[in-house]
C-alpha cells in the first residue's frame, strides 16, 4: 500500500472508533447544562434511549459532584427495591418524577447555592456495564443592589463621595459610573461562603462647594437582570459660608426713608447665625435688622459708616463689609 492509502485506512478506523464512542455516550440522554435560582425547583431529566433487546437495566443512580467536594449518591432507583435517597443534604428535597427505570428524571426542590455542581445519571447495565450522562447545574443569584451618596466636607484631598454595592450575586456583577464631575472610582469584590460574590465600588473626588447637588449615576449589570440597575445620586458636599451684600444704590441722602441692605450667603448646611455690625460695633438707633435684611428707617450721618455681615455654620464663619456714604 502507498503511504496515502495507509493514511486513509487509519483515518477511516479513527472515524469508526470515534463514532462508536459517540453512540455509546448517547445511550443516556440528559441536558448538558441548567441554570436555577435559590428556593426554586429544577428538573434533571434523564432517559436511556439506546439499549437494544440484549441490554438489561439493573439500577440507576444520580450522583452529585459539588463544585468543591466528593461525589456522592443522592438518589437511587431499583426495580425491585424501589427508591432511596442516601444523602442527608438532599433529604426531603429530591424526588423521582416517576417510577420508570428508563426515564429516571428527578426534581430537586428548595434549591440552595451549594447545590451547584455536576449531576450524573448512571445506569448499571448488563452486559455492557455502566452508562452515564452528566448535567452541570449552575446556581444563579440576583444581587441586592444599593447606592448612597456620602456627605463630605469641601477640601483639598480626594475622598469617597458615593458608593454602590451589588451584594450576594452570582455571577459577579459589574459596576460602572456615569458622572459629569471629575473623579475616579475603585471596585472590590468579596466571595461569600455559598459561592456568591459581593461587588462594591467607591466614587472619589476632591470635593468643592460647586460639586454639592451634582449628580453621579451607578449602573449595575449582572446576568440575572433584564437590564442594568441604575441609581442617580446627588452629591452632598458641606462647606463654610460665602457672603455677599447687595441693595446699596449709592443714593443714601439725609432724610431718606427705608434704605435697605441684604446679606446673602451660600452654605451647606444652612447658616446658623447672621449678624450685622458696624465699624464702631453697635448699630445706629435708626437701623432695624430682620435676619439677613438691614433697614435704615431714616438716613442720617450715623449710617455714614461701614456695615459688616457675618454668617456662621458648623464649618466656620465668613463676613462681608460694605461702606455706605451719606450725601
List pLDDT tens digits, range 225-236: 999 999 999 999
pLDDT tens-digit profile of 159-176? 999 999 999 999 999 999
Mean pLDDT of 280-299: 94
Q: Is residue 18 part of a domain?
A: no
CATH number of the CATH domain containing 52: 2.60.40.10
Three-class SS state of 123: strand
Q: Are residues 149 and 182 in the same domain?
A: yes
Summarised one tens digit per residue, pLDDT across range 111-139 is 999 999 999 999 999 888 899 999 999 99
pLDDT of residue 91: 87
What are the start-end ranges of the H helices in the chain? Answer: 3-25
In a domain, 17, yes or no: no
For residue 143, give the nearest of 163, 185, 171, 162 by alpha carbon: 171
Same domain for 167 and 257, yes or no, is: no
Residue 261 pLDDT greater than 70, yes or no? yes
Same domain, 215 and 306: no
Mean pLDDT of 68-78: 93
Band of pLDDT at residue 21, cut at 50, 70 and 90: very low
Number of C-beta neighbours around residue 90 at 10 A = 22
**pLDDT at position 51:** 60
pLDDT at 26: 62
* CB proximity list for 73: less than 8 A, separation 6 or greater: 61, 62, 63, 64, 86, 87
Taking 70 as the threshold, does the pLDDT of residue 18 lie above it?
no
* DSSP 8-state assignment for residue 309: E
Together in a domain, 85 and 31: yes
Burial of 64 (0-12, 13-18, 19+ CB in 10 A): buried
Domain with 172 in it: 144-235
Residue 202 β-bridge partners: 163, 186
What pLDDT, in 10s, does the model give residues 179-212? 989 899 999 999 998 889 999 999 999 999 999 9
Domain boundary among the residues 203, 235, 267 is at 235
Decide if 14 is inside a domain: no
Indicate if the pLDDT at residue 11 is higher than 70: no
Is a pLDDT exceeding 90 seen at residue 322? yes
Of the residues 139, 166, 200, which one is the last residue of a structural domain?
139
Please give the model's pTM, rounded to 2 decimal places: 0.76
Average pLDDT score over the chain: 91
Q: How many domains does the chain have?
A: 3
Instruction: Give the C-alpha separation, 145 to 125, whole Å.
Output: 50
Collapsed DSSP state (helix, strand, coil) of residue 81: coil
Strand partners, 261: 294
Residue 209: inside a domain = yes
If pLDDT is split at 50, 70 and 90, which confidence band does 108 have?
Answer: very high
Tell me, yes or no, whether 40 and 130 share the same domain: yes
* Per-residue confidence (pLDDT) for residue 9, from 0 to 100: 35
Amino acid at each position: 500500500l502507498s503511504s496515502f492509502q495507509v493514511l486513509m485506512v487509519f483515518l477511516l478506523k479513527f472515524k469508526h472508533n470515534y463514532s462508536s464512542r459517540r453512540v455509546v455516550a448517547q445511550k443516556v440522554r440528559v441536558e448538558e447544562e441548567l441554570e436555577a435560582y435559590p428556593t426554586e425547583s429544577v428538573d434533571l431529566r434523564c432517559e436511556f434511549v439506546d439499549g437494544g433487546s440484549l441490554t438489561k437495566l439493573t439500577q440507576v443512580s444520580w450522583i452529585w459532584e459539588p463544585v468543591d467536594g466528593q461525589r456522592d449518591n443522592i438518589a437511587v432507583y431499583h426495580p425491585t427495591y424501589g427508591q432511596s435517597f442516601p444523602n442527608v443534604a438532599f433529604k426531603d428535597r429530591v424526588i423521582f418524577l416517576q417510577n420508570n427505570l428508563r426515564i429516571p428524571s428527578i426534581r430537586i426542590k428548595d434549591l440552595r447555592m451549594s447545590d451547584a455542581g455536576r449531576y450524573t445519571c448512571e445506569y448499571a447495565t448488563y452486559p455492557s456495564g455502566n452508562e452515564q450522562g452528566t448535567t452541570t447545574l449552575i446556581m444563579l443569584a440576583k444581587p441586592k443592589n444599593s447606592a448612597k451618596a456620602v456627605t463630605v466636607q469641601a477640601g483639598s484631598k480626594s475622598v469617597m463621595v458615593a458608593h454602590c454595592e451589588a451584594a450576594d450575586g452570582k455571577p459577579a456583577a459589574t459596576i460602572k459610573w456615569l458622572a459629569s464631575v471629575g473623579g475616579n472610582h475603585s471596585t472590590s469584590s468579596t466571595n461569600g461562603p455559598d459561592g456568591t460574590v459581593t461587588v462594591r465600588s467607591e466614587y472619589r473626588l476632591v470635593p468643592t462647594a460647586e460639586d454639592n447637588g451634582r449628580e453621579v449615576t451607578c449602573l449595575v449589570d449582572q446576568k440575572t437582570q433584564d437590564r442594568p440597575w441604575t441609581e442617580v445620586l446627588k452629591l452632598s458636599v458641606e462647606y463654610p459660608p460665602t457672603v455677599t451684600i447687595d441693595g446699596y444704590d449709592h443714593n443714601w441722602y439725609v432724610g431718606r426713608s427705608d434704605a435697605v441692605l441684604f446679606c446673602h450667603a451660600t452654605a451647606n448646611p444652612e447658616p446658623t447665625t447672621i449678624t450685622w455690625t458696624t465699624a464702631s460695633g453697635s448699630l445706629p438707633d435708626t437701623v432695624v435688622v430682620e435676619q439677613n435684611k438691614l433697614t435704615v428707617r431714616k438716613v442720617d450721618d450715623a449710617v455714614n459708616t461701614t456695615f459688616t455681615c457675618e454668617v456662621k455654620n458648623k464649618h466656620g464663619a465668613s463676613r462681608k463689609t460694605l461702606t455706605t456714604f451719606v450725601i
